[in-house]
């Protein structure tokens, strides 16, 4: 156990069915288990549990000072955690790791409810796992995957048309701008960049995300979604998630924030301070569903598997 200051501390832990998962639990020194949700922070890609520029270390300690217990851990094969030996696919491996983390917190730390936090791929994993576990009452999604909309293509085109070089590329037939305009006008021509990233225009992926967000709302889950302008190939305006999934009844269970001028990993101190303040305010005032209510809905027979989508 390593002391952090007079009010909170960090503790290194090893857990999981294969004792292969390594993490850090941060909590107040006088922490007592109760109804307060426990936070679980997931990796983003191959970045280990400290996060970009130690963002997750600072976030965990900030939440602990508010009275929460926080686990940030490395998924199998990332950072200090060994690979799994059961041959699961990437997505199934992530979901199994998160479930083992939640089960360990429940059995050893008397955790009853969880809020999952993730950035980028970690946000996608948080969403997919969240709807599979009735103990999850909240999600903090930082730049999650959102399909493009007409509003996205319009803003992309308008922003690039003010650049002289973009007009030349448009008339000679090259560049991404021409492709974005085709999509805005309803063209089905493939985007040459899409093989190099997740194709969020794929109808199966769109439907899966739609159904997953729909499911999260049916469970009464609270969701904080924060988007940055540092991911312009995927989203470029605040309401894009609402326009992408117009049939999902987000209502007051979704708090939506957009950080203009902020990079994808919240590098600047002002952006990071603003993010932490929003998370603290959200967790303090959000009305989280009780475990019993969430369990009742979770007992319904709902398909949650995505056979084609590896986050």
| Pair 14, 161 in one domain | no
CA distance 307 to 264: 28
| Pair 182, 85 in one domain | no
Task: State pTM to two decimals.
Answer: 0.83
**Domain contains 250:** yes
Domain closes at, from 199, 219, 237: 199
Residue in this structure with the two tokens 């021509």, named with its chain if needed: 189
CA distance 306 to 215: 14
How much is the pLDDT for 300? 42
| Pair 170, 217 in one domain | no
Determine the structural domain holding residue 165 and report its residue range: 148-199
How much is the pLDDT for 291? 44
Would you give the distance in Å from CA 126 to the centre of its chain?
A: 5
| Pair 293, 190 in one domain | no
How much is the pLDDT for 100? 98
Closest CA to 235 of 204, 259, 214: 259
| Pair 82, 130 in one domain | yes
| Pair 212, 98 in one domain | yes
Domain closes at, from 199, 225, 241: 199
Closest CA to 142 of 115, 119, 117, 116: 119
| Pair 195, 207 in one domain | no
Closest CA to 294 of 211, 215, 224, 223: 215
**Domain contains 306:** no
| Pair 165, 253 in one domain | no
Three-state DSSP state, 10: strand
CA distance 7 to 138: 25
**Domain contains 219:** yes
| Pair 139, 229 in one domain | yes
| Pair 288, 188 in one domain | no
- Residues contacting residue 281 through CB under 8 Å, at least 6 positions apart: none
**Chunked in runs of 10, what are the mean pLDDT values of the chain (311 residues)?**
70 96 96 91 94 96 96 96 93 97 96 96 97 97 96 85 53 52 48 54 93 96 97 94 97 97 96 98 85 41 41 41
How much is the pLDDT for 189? 46
CATH number of the domain that 38 lies in?
Answer: 3.40.50.1820
**Domain contains 305:** no
**Domain contains 309:** no
| Pair 48, 167 in one domain | no
| Pair 85, 218 in one domain | yes
**Domain contains 224:** yes
CA distance 65 to 27: 8
Domain closes at, from 199, 218, 235: 199
**Domain contains 304:** no
- b vs e for 177-199, b when ≥16 Cβ sit within 10 Å of the residue's Cβ? bbbbbebbeeeeeebeeeeeebb
**Domain contains 310:** no
Q: Structural domain tally of the chain?
A: 2
Ordered DSSP codes for 106-146: HHHH----EEEEEETHHHHHHHHHHTT-TTEEEEEEES---
* Residue 302 contacts residue 215 (beta carbons within 8 Å): yes
User: Quick one: 21 exposed, middle or buried, by C-beta within 10 A (0-12, 13-18, 19+)?
Assistant: buried
């Amino acid at each position: 156990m390593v002391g952090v200051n007079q009010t909170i501390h960090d503790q290194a832990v090893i857990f999981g069915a294969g004792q292969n998962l390594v993490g850090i639990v941060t909590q107040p020194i006088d922490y007592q288990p109760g109804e307060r949700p426990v936070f679980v922070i997931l990796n983003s890609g191959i970045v280990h549990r400290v996060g970009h520029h130690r963002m997750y270390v600072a976030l965990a300690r900030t939440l602990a000072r508010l009275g929460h217990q926080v686990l940030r851990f490395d998924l199998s094969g990332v950072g200090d955690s060994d690979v799994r030996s059961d041959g699961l696919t990437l997505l199934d491996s992530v979901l199994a790791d998160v479930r083992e983390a939640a089960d360990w917190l429940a059995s050893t730390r008397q955790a009853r409810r969880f809020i999952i936090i993730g950035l980028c791929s970690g946000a996608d994993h948080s969403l997919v796992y969240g709807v599979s576990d009735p103990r999850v009452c909240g999600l903090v999604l930082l730049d999650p995957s959102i399909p493009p909309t007409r509003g996205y293509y319009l803003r992309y085109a308008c922003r690039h048309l003010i650049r002289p070089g973009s007009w030349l590329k448009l008339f000679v037939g090259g560049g991404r701008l021409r492709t974005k305009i085709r999509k805005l006008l309803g063209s089905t021509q493939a985007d040459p960049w899409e093989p190099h990233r997740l194709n969020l225009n794929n109808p199966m992926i769109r439907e899966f995300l739609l159904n997953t967000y729909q499911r999260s709302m049916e469970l009464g889950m609270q969701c904080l979604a924060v988007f940055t302008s540092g991911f312009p190939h995927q989203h470029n305006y605040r309401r894009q998630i609402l326009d992408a999934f117009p049939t999902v009844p987000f209502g007051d269970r979704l708090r939506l924030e957009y950080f203009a001028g902020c990079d994808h990993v919240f590098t600047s101190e002002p952006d990071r301070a603003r993010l932490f303040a929003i998370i603290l305010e959200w967790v303090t005032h959000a009305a989280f569903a009780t475990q019993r209510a969430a369990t009742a809905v979770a007992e319904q027979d709902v398909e949650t598997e995505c056979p084609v989508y590896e986050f």
